[in-house]
Homo-oligomer: A and B are copies of this chain.
Amino acid sequence: MRYYLFPIIILLIGCKNNGRTELTKNPILPKKKIVFEGLNRPWSIAFINDDEALVTEKNGDMVKVNLQNKTKKIIKGFPEDLTDSIGAIHIGDNSGIFDVLLHPDFKENHKLYFSYAAKKKGVGKTTKFVQAQLENDSLFDLKTILAAEPYTYINYHYGGGMAIGTDNKLYLTVGERLFWEHDEPALPIAQDAKDPRGKIHRFNLDGSIPEDNPDYGEGTVPSIFAMGIRNTQGIALQPETGSFWFTEHGTIQGDEINILKKGGNYGWPNSTTGRLRSEDYKPPQLDGVEFTSPTWFWHHTVAPTGLCFYTGDEFPQWKNDLLVPGLSRGSLWRFHIVGDTIKSAEELFLDERVRSRKVAQSPDGKLYMLTDEENGKIIQILPQ
């Protein structure tokens, strides 16, 4: 009996120490590990499996990367009306390839969605969302879900974010495509339900219009689900509530995080937590319109983009937290959330800032970040 109990006691002590040591040695602070580089301003990533992913390069191609073999293949058959910002005169030109998203039944039907800045001769550019089938690293059977007309010559605020809801619908974000507010028409673009820009849209997975979309009346765009949005690039599903949370780029300050509500109006340009760029611009009075307040806003420019909710196991303390990368400050924000309430906000990687475009999780729960650089990287975020 003596011999029998001895190792148990040792193990019990070891266990207690182990728990404490693990907590102490496993601080909240994560570290970065570059797992892939040589991507031309990567914008988004869609994991096919734990090691393989489709990556969109804003100024390049849609590529298939293998994180283990470090190989990269260009996906052929991308639309030729793509316009990017290579050689752009204006810094911050947003044109290029944006998001990529797998169909829920991708494994069976090989379907996917992607978004990009499309050009049309003589009229300009717009945000385009396309469904396609991927066979042998080529895109086939391309079908436009939405081209957010009108085309214009402005290079900014395309939006381009995509996500699929618990309702199996496709949600798309389109920016209002203006740079200056004094270029707004009498009824601001994002407030006009006849204009697809400055909106979040909702489609069936085949591109048809769901019957239960909000009704904005005669002549309006039937795919509109919410409006009053300046520029949203990231939209992500909260695992506990099934709500969508989305980032919004403000002007001077005014970067926000919002929770998507059916028929919600997020206020742009009438209501914003930032200052308007056109100091003399006065938005029109909109009678009977109620604005949805942001869930979070920053007092400084963050340029929040491709957010995700963390559901992996490597950071147990972060379970279901919202992670938001920022282009401007190059840090990673972590929000601890209960229901629709943000309980705490943490800014990570303060001393190693790099323009961060997207945070995403692989099917096996690993956490990755894409850097918006000419030698763009996929960085794995790991516990210390």
Asked whether, in the complex, the Cβ of B344 is within 8 Å of the Cβ of A23, the reply is no
Decide: A24 and B351 in contact? CB cutoff 8 A.
no
B-contacting 9-mer, from A4-12, A139-147, A194-202: A4-12
- Indicate if A20 sits at the interface (CB-CB under 8 A): yes
**Does A348 lie at the interface of the complex (its beta carbon under 8 Å from any beta carbon of B)?**
yes
A300, closest chain B residue (CB): B299
Q: 1/0 per position for A1-31, CB-CB distance to B under 8 A?
A: 0011001100110110011101110111100
Judge whether A349 is part of the interface by a CB distance below 8 angstroms: yes
With A19-B19, A344-B350 known as contacts, the answer to whether A317 contacts B317 (CB < 8 A) is yes
A347 at the interface (CB under 8 A from B): yes
CB of A382 within 8 Å of the partner chain = no
Query: Does A345 sit at the interface, judged by CB under 8 A?
Result: yes
Indicate if A76 sits at the interface (CB-CB under 8 A): no
Let me know if A68 is at the binding interface, CB within 8 A. no
B residues less than 8 Å from A4 (CB atoms) = 3-4, 7
B28:A317 contact, CB within 8 angstroms = yes
Residue in B23, B253, B344, B347 whose CB lies within 8 Å of A26: B23
CB proximity to B under 8 Å, residues A290-344: 298-300, 316-317, 319, 334, 336, 341-344
Instruction: Determine if B336 and A29 form an interchain contact, defined as CB atoms under 8 angstroms apart.
Output: yes
Minimum distance in angstroms from A314 CB to a CB of chain B: 11
CB-based contact A336/B11 at 8 Å: no
A346 on the B face (CB < 8 A): yes
Q: Is the CB of B345 within 8 A of A347?
A: yes
CB contacts (< 8 Å) of A351 on chain B: these are: 341-343
Interface of A is mostly: mixed
Bitwise, A58-90 to B at CB < 8 A (1) or not (0) is 000000000000000000000000000000000
Residues on B with C-beta less than 8 A from A18 are 15, 19
Q: A299-B299, A317-B23 are in contact. Are A344 and B28 (CB under 8 A)?
A: yes
With both chains docked as a complex, state the minimum distance between the C-beta of A107 and any C-beta of chain B, in angstroms.
30
The answer to whether A319 and B19 have CB atoms under 8 Å apart is no
Which residues of B are found within 8 Å of A316, using beta-carbon distances?
20, 23-24
- Determine if B319 and A24 form an interchain contact, defined as CB atoms under 8 angstroms apart: yes
**Nearest-neighbor residue (CB-CB) of A26 within chain B:** B23
Is A343 a contact partner of B336 (Cβ separation < 8 A)?
no
Residues of B within 8 A of A19 (CB): 15, 18-19, 22
Query: Can you identify 29 A-B contacts, CB atoms within 8 angstroms?
Result: A4-B4, A4-B7, A11-B12, A11-B15, A14-B15, A15-B18, A15-B19, A23-B23, A23-B26, A23-B316, A23-B317, A24-B316, A24-B319, A26-B317, A27-B336, A28-B336, A28-B344, A29-B343, A253-B299, A298-B299, A299-B299, A300-B300, A334-B346, A343-B348, A343-B349, A344-B347, A344-B348, A345-B347, A346-B347
Given contacts A317-B317, A345-B346, 6 further A-B contacts (CB under 8 A): A4-B4, A15-B15, A18-B19, A26-B317, A253-B299, A343-B351
Chain A interface (Cβ within 8 Å of chain B)? 3-4, 7-8, 11-12, 14-15, 18-20, 22-24, 26-29, 253, 298-300, 316-317, 319, 334, 336, 341-351
